[in-house]
Structure formats: C-alpha cells, structure tokens
C-alpha cells in the first residue's frame, strides 16, 4: 500500500493553480535542474517546478543567464521531467529564443514541451512580448510571464536592482501585468519589486502571481533551490531565506574524504569485496608456474 496521500499523486495543472488563487491557498514553486533534486522537490509536495535559466549561473558557472542556450535548457528539462511527473513543470525560454521571429519562438516553445517534457514555458518581459505570448498560447502551450527584475535584461536594467519603485515604474508594471493576462498568460512571476506594488498587481489580476522578492501578498512564492539550500554561495539576494548550508557541508565532506584517503582510513574493510580463501590460494598456486608480468 502506498503511503503517499492521494492529493500528492494528482498531477498539478494550470487549473489547480487558478483554483488555489480563488481559494487564497498559497502556491509553492521551486527550481530544479536535475533528477535527484526534482525527486526531492516532488516528494516535498511543491506545486510547481521551474527549470529556470538561473541554471546558467548556479549550475553551469556563467556570470549571468544570457549565455544559456536551448540545448542547455532541454538537457536539464529532460532530467527534471524524469524525476517529477506529477508536478506542474515549467521550462524557461532562454535569452533571444522568443524575440527573433514568430516561427522561431513557436519552434523553441514547442521543443520545451516535446523534447524537454515540460507542461508550460516561462518568458520574461511585458507589453513587448505580448505578441509572442499570444502566438505560443494559440499553439496550445501555457505561458507563465515574468516581470520586475528580469535577469535576461540585466544589461538594460543596469544591474541586479529592485524594480517598480517609482509611481511611474509601478504603474507601468501593473499595465504590463494586465497586458500579459490579456495575451493569455496563466500566471506571472514578480521578481524584486516592492511588496505593496506586488499586492496591488495580485489584487487586479485574475491569474496567480508568484513572487520572489515581492513580499507575502502574492498568490505564491518561488525560490531558486541552490540559493535556499546555500548550495550556490557566490552571492545570495537579500530576499532569499536560507534553509540549509549545503555548500559548507559539501566542502566539509570533501575535506574529510581527502583527509581519510591521505591517512589510509578509507577505504576500510567494510568497503572492500572479499574473495574466498580457496580461490585466492588457487590464484597464488597458478602464478607459481607462470610468469605473469607485474603491473599488467
Ligand atoms: O530562472 C529562474 O530561476 C527564475 C526564478 C528566479 C523565478 O526565473
């Protein structure tokens, strides 16, 4: 008999998320980039798993997300989909994959579902991506929007800075959110914006908002897993809560291993395979008559 509750086994869909907003039940979302992490995020009962293009920074060591390619995304999407089929899986469309032409946009969005086995795609931007959103949604692919601090525009924004802090910028952000909703987005990530602005956007939209650095009054929350686990410690945005210190723990474990091998403490007898005494004796006996080259 399975010990997993029936609710955790049911596939999370865009309808589940909308219903959660209507019931004022918080939506939970985390990123994952590989199979074991996807399994753990799934087992924890998280609603949505995002294969974010943050993988460029926290997994591949790029300085920003701009270098991430469709091939990078597909590789990691496939691994995650094998570990978490019941969650709602969202794949990020990488930089420039939805800006050049409608046909390229559709092909790339389609590949994330067909080859990456995602349920939906996410793209960054407001009114300037509305046509792309409409085209992808018309092709039957759910689209999650992303407003506020949009990392693919870090060069235009002049760095990793909170957005929507003036009345004018906040109004523009609200307008962009409404444009995305009208274009067919089923949810929007709000990143690094004042909590009161995020609350206002959340109230005005029918679709769920998912905040990261956008305060407590969004319909859901998302964190980058490597940040919240303390696995990526090059820098941590101030809005991240660290739930573990895995980088420090990992470094300690590697140091202990190096020390054990150096001091001949590892491997110990329990880590070795045995050969029966008579087999070993027979081996030694057989070697007496032959000249087996040493080190062969
Ligand atoms: O790429 C990503 O991980 C994201 C989150 C910060 C929402 O877009």
Number of structural domains in the chain = 2
Q: Which residue among 122, 209, 214, 232 has the greatest number of ligand 1 atoms within 8 angstroms of its CB, and so is best to mutate?
A: 122
Structural domain of residue 280, as residue ranges? 250-287
Say what the pLDDT of residue 291 is: 63
pLDDT above 70 coverage of the chain, percent: 95
Say what the pLDDT of residue 7 is: 47
Say what the pLDDT of residue 2 is: 45
Q: CB within 8 A of 14, min separation 6: which ones? A: 88, 119, 120, 142, 186, 187
Nearest ligand 1 atom to the CA of 124 is: 8
Catalogue the active-site residues: 191
Q: Does residue 292 lie in a domain region?
A: no
Q: Are residues 151 and 176 in the same domain?
A: yes
Mean pLDDT of 229-258: 94
Question: For position 50, which CATH number holds?
Answer: 3.20.20.60
For ligand 1, whether the C-beta of 221 sits within 6 Å is no
Q: Are residues 241 and 261 in the same domain?
A: no
Q: Are residues 188 and 266 in the same domain?
A: no
Q: Does residue 205 lie in a domain region?
A: yes
Q: Are residues 66 and 152 in the same domain?
A: yes
For residue range 74-111, list pLDDT tens digits in order.
999 999 999 998 899 999 999 999 999 999 999 999 99
Q: Are residues 135 and 262 in the same domain?
A: no
Q: Are residues 172 and 257 in the same domain?
A: no
Q: Are residues 43 and 107 in the same domain?
A: yes
The three-state secondary structure class of 209 is strand
For residue range 169-225, list pLDDT tens digits in order.
999 999 999 999 999 999 999 999 999 999 999 999 999 999 999 999 999 999 999
């Amino acid at each position: 008999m399975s010990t997993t509750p029936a609710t955790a086994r049911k596939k999370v869909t865009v309808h589940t998320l909308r219903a959660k907003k209507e019931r004022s039940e918080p939506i939970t979302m985390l990123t994952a980039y590989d199979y074991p992490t996807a399994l753990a995020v799934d087992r924890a009962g998280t609603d949505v798993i995002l294969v974010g293009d943050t993988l460029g920074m926290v997994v591949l060591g790029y300085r920003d997300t701009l270098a991430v390619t469709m091939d990078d995304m597909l590789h990691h999407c496939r691994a995650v989909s094998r570990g978490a089929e019941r969650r709602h899986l969202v794949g990020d469309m990488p930089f420039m994959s939805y800006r050049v032409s409608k046909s390229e946009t559709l092909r790339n969005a389609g590949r994330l579902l067909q080859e990456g086995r995602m349920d939906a795609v996410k793209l960054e931007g407001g009114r300037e991506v509305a046509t792309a959103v409409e085209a992808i949604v018309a092709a039957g692919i759910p689209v999650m929007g992303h407003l506020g601090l949009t990392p693919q525009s870090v060069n235009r924004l002049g760095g990793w800075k909170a957005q929507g802090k003036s009345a004018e910028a906040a109004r523009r952000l609200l307008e962009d959110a409404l444009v995305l909703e009208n274009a067919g987005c089923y949810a929007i990530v709000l990143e690094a914006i004042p909590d009161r602005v995020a609350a206002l956007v959340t109230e005005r939209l029918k679709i769920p908002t998912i905040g990261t650095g956008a305060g407590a009054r969004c319909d859901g929350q998302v964190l980058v897993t490597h940040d919240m686990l303390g696995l990526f410690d090059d820098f941590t945005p101030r809005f991240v809560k660290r739930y573990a210190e895995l980088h420090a723990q990992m470094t300690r474990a590697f140091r202990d291993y190096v020390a054990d091998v150096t001091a001949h403490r590892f491997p110990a007898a329990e880590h070795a395979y045995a050969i029966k005494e008579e087999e070993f004796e027979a081996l030694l006996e057989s070697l007496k008559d032959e000249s087996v080259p040493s080190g062969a």
